[in-house]
Amino acid sequence: AQKVTQAQTEISVVEKEDVTLDCVYETRDTTYYLFWYKQPPSGELVFLIRRNSFDEQNEISGRYSWNFQKSTSSFNFTITASQVVDSAVYFCALSEASAAGNKLTFGGGTRVLVKP
């Protein structure tokens, strides 16, 4: 069965600090997809990134970057030079290609608090 673990429940940083969110996953499929979503206090989940299991290239989008390492089953997310608006809960999720309907399994989430 698929499983996603976000070991950090809450991280508090001061503005402009970098913050890295860990995500470790378990799956028996060779084809799968990994996602990161942001949930600000308003509650709506915002899609950040999707990565398939065959693409291990790291990705950078503005202040966001992702490090995918199949060898350690990890898909970590770094926010560089954090800002107060980055305060939110961040969820890592996994979808197996073989799963009916491409269901998502979410990690427990990491709450990021960026203080001014």
* Residue numbers at the binding site for other proteins (CB under 8 A): 33, 35, 37, 42-47, 50, 91, 95, 100-104, 106-109, 111
Of 10 and 18, CB closest to other proteins: 10
We find the least distance from the C-beta atom of residue 16 to other proteins, in angstroms, to be: 27
Question: DSSP characters for 90-112?
Answer: EEEEEEETTSGGG-EEE---EEE
DSSP state letter for 63: T
- Rounded Cα distance between 4 and 16, Å, is 28
**Closer by beta carbon to other proteins, 7 or else 46:** 46
